[in-house]
Structure formats: C-alpha cells, structure tokens
Amino acid sequence: MKTDIKITEVLSKIITIDSSSVEEAIGIVEDMYRNEEIVLDYSDFNDDVIIEKKENNFNSKKDFLINEVIRYLIKDEERHYEESEESSNHIYLTLLELQKYI
C-alpha cells in the first residue's frame, strides 16, 4: 500500500514593526519578506513538526475540513457583509483570508 505522508517543519520569527494599523504592519512585513529583507533559516526553527496524511487535493485533513467550513459559511457571510454597515471587522473578511492559506 502506498500512502502520501506530508512532513512540515515550521520556521518562525517575530518582527516588530512601527505602523498605524495591524494591516499596514502585515503589508510592510510581507513586502520585506518578498524583497528578501527577511530570510528565515535553521535558527528560526521552532521545534514544530507536523506529520500527517495528505488528503486528495489538500495538504492535510485539517485543510480539507477548514475548506468545508468556509464553503458552508461564505455565501451567507458575503451577503451579510454586503448589507452590513460595520464591515471592517466582519467574519467574511476572515474567511476570505483563511481561504488563501488552503
């Protein structure tokens, strides 16, 4: 029997940014990372290793389940987001962001 098993090692680093908002800070760090001003290496390994079965078109069972929840919620939340006056912190934006990662 052949089984695809995915091994993930996690590198992480905390970067302190002076900005007017969290969104701006994230944008600054994303730009710095893309421009290779921030480079993670072996010293940033945080001992976090995940070993799991690869699930069809998804990297993991977790990604598959998250995708199912997003698919279930996204249409209703999109409609509510469009009708909402307070849309800057709406869960629909979180669902869209989460969708990028799976």
The full set of domain ranges for the chain reads 1-54, 57-102
Q: Taking 80 as the threshold, does the pLDDT of residue 52 lie above it?
A: no
Alpha helices in 1-102 (DSSP H): 22-34, 61-83, 91-100
- Nearest one of 37, 35, 50 to 5, comparing CA atoms: 50
Q: Find the mean pLDDT for residues 28-40.
A: 95
Q: Is the pLDDT of residue 5 over 90?
A: no
For residue 11, what are the β-bridge partners?
45
| Residue 77's pLDDT band (cuts 50, 70, 90) | very high
Give residue 41's pLDDT: 92
- Which of these ranges, 10-19, 46-55, 93-102, has the smallest mean pLDDT? 46-55
Closest among 21, 41, 3, 17 to 88, alpha carbons compared:
21
d(CA 60, CA 14): 26
More confident residue, 11 or 6: 11
